[in-house]
Structure 1
Amino acid sequence: MTTRPVLELRRVSAHYGPIQVLREVSLQIQPGEIVCLLGGNASGKTTTLKTILGYVVPTHGDVVFDGQRVNGLPTQRLVALGLSMVPENRRLFQRMTVRENLELGCYLRMDRAEIAADLDRVFTLFPRMADRIDQRAGTLSGGEQQMVAVARALMARPKVLLMDEPSMGLAPVLVEQNFEIIRQVNQQGTTILVVEQNANMALSIADRGYVLQTGAIVLAGSARELLDDPQMRAAYLGEM
């Protein structure tokens, strides 16, 4: 018996004015999975995220979240339904403290006791943040800022966590640490969609993956299938 996808794109096309940027993109994410969406610059990865989050309304097809068609719903409504995002380059409020950034992650929630429990959870996941709770986010290292960005998204208690280029701007050792954090978050029960250019690293933690090229899905399969695919290895994994 198969479970219902928690997030699904059904033949989604999208345009910026007369320019088509997504071409009948279909993907599914099952509860509990890590799924990666791979592709180079201008492949359509960011537009796919914007379409999921309601910033871009599909010109064809449907975005379905937790069984509900959500095409073009306001982002605030989608967050309330259970979507949360760690944006590219983290985008913290630099002059605000770590605590204030985390509080912004749960601004739609009213369950104060559960919020306190989730704060304890992120401190368990990121012990360093507890020591920097009253420090301004802009004074943290790049790796620490990434931790705060992930923790802020988790404070929304998402059903699906979207991550946009989590390796961008980080030193290689921090990239490995960051993807280990993604794995740990998933093991605690959060479904994750990772949008990433670093195919090797993303596939090392993912259950399945999709590859976008000029707005269309050109490859899809399990992480192992993609790692072993000759086309994938030549185009994205550094083997010519």
Structure 2
Amino acid sequence: MRIQLRRKEEIGYIREAGRILAACHREIAKIIQPGITTSEIDARVEKFLEKNGAVPEQKGYKGFPYATCASVNDVVCHGFPDQRPLEAGDVVTIDMVVNKNGWLADSGWTYAVAEVSPKVRKLMEHTHEALFRGIEAARHGAALGDVGHAIEQVAEREGYGIVKSLVGHGIGRAIHEPPDVLNYGVPGRGLKLKEGMVITIEPVFTLGSTGAVFWGDDGWTISSADGSIGVQYEHTIAITREGPVILTD
């Protein structure tokens, strides 16, 4: 599949999906508290999207059975929603792809459940910082290596692991379109970004310094190999001549 350059009108359609997605995350933020289950969150997301004329794109994608990925603590990605009540001190990443009239937007966000430890709070703050460092670097004419390097510098500065097997990607009509957007890289190396490209940027950092992961028996759940907590923040952005534009804010 070749890289798609989207017209302004098409980016507007993706932005509408992103607007619904961002509104959904704001609703999630209101209900994250000890005692709620990720299954309850998943059900609320599905109802919210239906109310707004959208559908959860990943439900049924390659057999994935839920509207959201719900990843708790050492689960860094693609966790299944379940009936375990969240506890104070947990972190949970809710990741979803919203389909509005055939156009897609993708955003994952890590939430603290009540108070988390200072080192986990710092991990969240620095991963969030890395997301925006990556977005700032994602400019027309820049290289993908510039984006990855900006993210990687934050992890190296703080001693976090980067989950290198998880990457950002192009998006528009399909969940995963080219190019892959790595969370590490060499400045000036790699594909040049062009006006009209729509990509996700999604750093995943772990408290453990290796960032190594393993896949669970369900074929989806990805956990840190050392059992350390993982955090992810993700936006869908459009590349424009004036700079990157966040479509899921």
The normalised TM-score by structure 1 is 0.31
Structure having the higher helix fraction is 1
| Larger RCO (CA under 8 A, 6+ residues apart) | 1
The normalised TM-score by structure 2 is 0.31
